Amino acid sequence: MFVIVLLSFVFILLVCNYYVHYGKTGRLINLISGPLCYPIVGSIYVFLGSREALWKRIITLSNRYYPIYKVWALFVPVISIRHPDDLETILSNPKCIKKSFLYDLFKPWLGTTLIVSEGAMWHSQRKILTSTFHFNILQRFVEILDKESKNMIKSLKNADGTVVKNLLPFISEHTLNAICATAMGTSLKDLGELQQQYLKAIHRIGELFIYRTKRPWMHFNWIFSLTPKGREQAKILKILHGFTDRIIAERKLYHEQTNGQYLKSFDNDTSAEEDDAKMIGTQRKRLAMLDFLIAASREGLMTDLEIRQEVDTIMFAGHDTTASSLCFILALLAEHKDIQDRVRNEVDIAMQNNENKLTMKFLNQLLYLERCIKEALRLHSVIFLVSRVCGEDVKLQSYLVPAGTILVIDINGIHKDPNFWPNPEVFDPDRFLPEKIRNRHPYSYIPFSAGPRNCIGQRYAMLQMKMMVASLIHHFYLEPVDYIKDVRLQIDIVLRLHPLRDEDDTDEKGNPPDLEEIMRQMGGLSGSGDNKPNFDELDELGDNDADSDDEDLPDLYD
């Protein structure tokens, strides 16, 4: 009986395989090159292995089948594209704004938020949130970002010893402080351990996301919830949601104590702020995003659950991607002393011209630093892939893609394409001189995606990165320890530097290695001017790989 059932099941799968591959859609898809496809399982083997191996395999596939290739994940075809003409065709097409089913893995955490919603809901959410990052609102954030940058510098100078062992958590802490202070109107100074739990939970949820992505059977929430990692995710979600619920509750309390006057008007009347300062006991800035969401909820445009979902999204996107990008930027400046010195000279001159005040005028004068940041985002795009679903048949350069097909936008691939970027692995900020930008395909550089579903917070991210890098460069010299080319990269929701060794590594005699051997990562900070603390090495970015159970699997493709 069991054999009959098993054979029947296999027969059904083979029939499905024939229908999928030899139907109209399958025949069009299979015209595109790609890795070897087996019956039923397709090309799913390319997703096996560690997150580091997966990153290398993505690059290998992108280069081998340039500029387009397909893989079959069981019966689901996925097409990866990287030529800017194809990218423009998809990203600018209003019929191709739907995200792929992989984004559904975010729903237990982020719900039907802006990054996963579609249709009328997406348009409504986009309209509300876009206004919260208006230029005039960003100008109000500069003072807060300056204050957080000063707190970061102070923390470095007061750090115990001479070494920052783990740069990413350190920077993440300050980018999280910044997004909470600006977009949420909340200070995290009293949260302590809760903040650290939130940061760790963010990184762990990213690891679990990749774990599920590589295992199609884990895409079903009811199956995943029965596994140990599913139960772990449930605990992590309590931490993440509890953190944002607390922030929202605090801001709502603030509006109750101020009789909701900020929800009635978002003008620049400073007298109202002074009255609030007397009422609350401390001055609180009129902020953008969370206040807009609360106001929208009072008008019946959003529910409390939708507010939390959007706050979860902005909290993650507003600090984690920025922190990872900052790590790469600092590493590149540490490796290129001539470029670092030029940035420092620009920052110092701008400081003198603005009486040492970090204002919007000051930031607008940092043109070379801005080019450095853009070049760093090209070399190391922390959001390295995005995906879309074709809402209609789409004609690319060489192939017709049928409606309903998942398309992966290979951001890392186009940013490293030698046809558009000569010597693509070289760090050259002058690629972003105005005359060079004019002569380049507009879709050859898309670190914040492009088209209707581009990143609404990109101006905020650039503002924050310029502020933090300028502050660090003004106070410290960056010195390389290891070079990025020697450091392993791994992926979760964003691209991260991989730790070279564990903190508890010991030699064959059980003794810990020398300090110089332990502190191996991207760069060191040493005080400039009269500031003499010496941060000799920066170490170990990232956490343990969620896919450690895959580490011993053979590389089935490379």
3-class secondary structure, 411:
helix
What is the percent of the chain where pLDDT is above 90? 46
Domain boundaries, the chain: 32-266+285-503
Q: Which residues contact 184 (CB under 8 A, 6 or more apart)?
A: 247, 251, 287, 289, 290, 311, 315
- Check residue 134 and give its pLDDT: 76
Is pLDDT of 182 > 50?
yes
Average pLDDT over residues 295-307: 85
Is pLDDT of 122 > 50?
yes
- Give the model confidence (pLDDT) of 318-348 as tens digits: 888 999 999 999 999 999 999 999 999 999 9
495-497 and 523-527 strand pairing: unpaired
Q: Which residues contact 35 (CB under 8 A, 6 or more apart)?
A: 43, 46, 61, 69, 71, 557
- Check residue 160 and give its pLDDT: 63
The more confident residue out of 558 and 373 is 373
Burial group, residue 367, by CB count within 10 angstroms (0-12, 13-18, 19+): middle
Q: Which CATH number fits domain 32-266+285-503: 3.30.200.20, 3.20.20.70, 1.10.630.10, 1.20.1630.10?
A: 1.10.630.10
Is pLDDT of 533 > 80?
no
390 is in an annotated binding site: no
Average pLDDT over residues 509-523: 33
Instruction: Write the CA distances from 343 to 350, 380, 419, 477, 535, integer angstroms.
Output: 11, 19, 29, 11, 20
Q: Mean pLDDT score of the chain, rounded to an integer? A: 82
Q: Give yes or no for a contact between 315 and 155, defined as CB atoms under 8 angstroms apart.
A: no
Burial group, residue 88, by CB count within 10 angstroms (0-12, 13-18, 19+): middle
pTM: 0.84
Is pLDDT of 291 > 90?
no
Burial group, residue 215, by CB count within 10 angstroms (0-12, 13-18, 19+): middle
pLDDT class for 271, splitting at 50, 70, 90?
very low
State the Cα–Cα distance between residues 251 and 32, nearest whole angstrom.
52
- Check residue 267 and give its pLDDT: 42
Is pLDDT of 14 > 80?
yes
- Give the model confidence (pLDDT) of 217-262 as tens digits: 899 999 999 999 999 999 999 999 999 998 898 888 888 887 776 6
